Structure 1
Amino acid sequence: MSVEIRRGTARFTEREVGRATRHAFSFGAVYDPAHVAFGPMICHDEHLLGDGRGFDTHRHAGLEIVTWVVSGALTHTDSAGAAHTLVAGEVGHLHAGSGVEHSEVAAAPQTRFVQVWLRSEDTGQPSYGVHAVSRGELVEALEVNGSTLWVSHLAAGGSVALPVVDRLHVYVASGALLRNSLAEPLAAGDALLATEEPGPLVATAAVDSVLLVWALAAEDQTT
């Protein structure tokens, strides 16, 4: 069993006018050999955008791109004809397939969102989908190529037993967790990475909290 706590403060931050991005894994010119990927997850970013700021049209291929808006709103537009403004409580899923161009622009005075990239060998037609997520202790939001995303809304003092899987990634999107079976308190922006079925872990909220919980596919399902 292996459990690692990755503090939000340990991420490297990229800043531009109207945008701040915190990267969990190696990205662009910044290479961190200890943090290149976690199973099929090769990117786990948190973005903060000013109104009208974001990412102009750019291309992706061979990725599943999953976006969760923490606050504000984010407009996605792509070359496959999809256009949607994501708000809190929705998951956006871009299947880049053989290649697609898209843009992402904040549609609110301040927008905070989390985005994950998963490797994919599915080179079919690009597509984009939006999934509304109900509030609950552990709600399945999306399944893609053997990886599953759950979203957990916990009231202060509430607890949830996390899935027992070979590769687990838990991210505190907002709020904070108490010290318990996770071994250390976690704050917003922190993540827990666990491998080799660490047994039942329980998360207990110190304040109202939202967790993004990934059960990630085995390597042979994605590479």
Structure 2
Amino acid sequence: MTDAAIRPRTDLRRTAERYLSTPATGIETRHAFSFSGHYDPKNTHFGALLACNEERLAPGAGFDEHRHRDTEILTVVLEGALAHRDSDGHSGVVRPGMVQHLGAGSGVTHTERNVGGAEVPVRFVQMWLQPDVFDAPPAYGLRRVEPAADGLTLLASGLPRDADTPALRLRRSDAALWLVTAGPWLPLPELPAAEYRYAHLTAGSLGFRTVRGPQGGGRSMEPGDSARISGDAFADPTAGEHGAELLLWEMHSPVSYG
């Protein structure tokens, strides 16, 4: 699909519009897309992104062993600590300021739990991306992130241009995940251009225009809100009084079927 075939558009979705599920005691999940028993045929993905879940696990709660295949899974913890263990022998504790990548590849089982002994919930965002390399060996990565001075920090990427960076490596050659930050009342740094961009606000607030020029309507975002951005939209994004922090997917092609 070419840029010319995509109508510039910003589709704002509020956190309260997400489907809320409680799959087990102590677990609350808000789903941005169709997921598990919740199916909306008009909301199955955006670009190559298959899931963006806001998760809350109470002390002692977690997801028992379950299996994934051919999915790139990125996890960012906002509060608390998340313990991961998988069938390939990887284990780690994800805390705020870190990003975790699990490339399910040919198949892997794992558990995710609020870290043992915790007295507070763990809150995290988990995103699933379709790879373009299938049936590969499972892969795991965990890194601490030092936010860039310019407010644009690369977390993970499969793009060849990013091969020599510290970013976690994705098995999709035209997608990257960024952490974007801006101080109070400041404009966001210039965002990477892409046919599909997905922004999820994790802290602060943000104002923007839906498209460039006088036709663009003003919108605002609060934590948990997301924007699905097609083409050259999402104009003049500016942080609110407490600054802004968001996760931004840069994707140059959509989900592929067959």
Same fold flag (TM > 0.5)? yes
1:3 and 1:155 mapped to 2: Cα distance? 23
Does 1:158 pair with 2:186?
yes
Shift of 1:210: 1.7
Aligned to 2:161: none
Aligned to 1:5: 12
Task: Map 1:203-222; keep pairs closer than 5 Å.
Answer: 203-219=238-254
Task: Map 1:1-223; keep pairs closer than 5 Å.
Answer: 1-15=8-22, 16-107=24-115, 108=118, 109-120=120-131, 121-136=133-148, 137-143=151-157, 144=170, 145=172, 146-160=174-188, 161-177=190-206, 179-182=207-210, 183-198=218-233, 201-219=236-254
Q: Which moved more, 1:22-31 or 1:153-162?
A: 153-162
> Considering only CA atoms, is the larger Rg found in Structure 1 or Structure 2?
2
Question: Cα RMSD between the aligned structures?
Answer: 1.8
| Dislocated runs of 4+, deviation >6 Å | 220-223
Structure having the higher strand fraction is 1
Q: Which moved more, 1:107-116 or 1:155-164?
A: 155-164
| Count of paired positions | 222
2:28 and 2:255 mapped to 1: Cα distance? 34
2:204/2:239 contact within 8 Å kept: no
Q: Which moved more, 1:150-159 or 1:78-87?
A: 150-159
Can you list the C-alpha shifts for 1:96-128, whole angstroms capped at 9, x where unaligned?
000000010011321100000111242111011
2:46/2:254 contact within 8 Å kept: no
> Secondary structure at the residue paired with 2:208?
coil
Unaligned segments of structure 2, at least 5 residues? 1-7, 158-169, 211-217
2:40 and 2:13 mapped to 1: Cα distance? 13
With normalisation by structure 2, the TM-score equals 0.81
Shift of 1:220: 7.3
Shift of 1:200: 5.3
> Secondary structure at the residue paired with 1:9?
helix
2:208/2:235 contact within 8 Å kept: no
Shift of 1:162: 2.2
1:131/1:142 contact within 8 Å kept: no
Q: Which moved more, 1:115-124 or 1:72-81?
A: 115-124
Shift of 1:81: 0.5
Unaligned segments of structure 1, at least 5 residues? none
Shift of 1:32: 1.4
Can you list the C-alpha shifts for 1:146-203, whole angstroms capped at 9, x where unaligned?
21111023322232132221111111012211x3335311000100111123375423
Give the fraction of aligned pairs with identical amino acids, expressed as a percent.
32
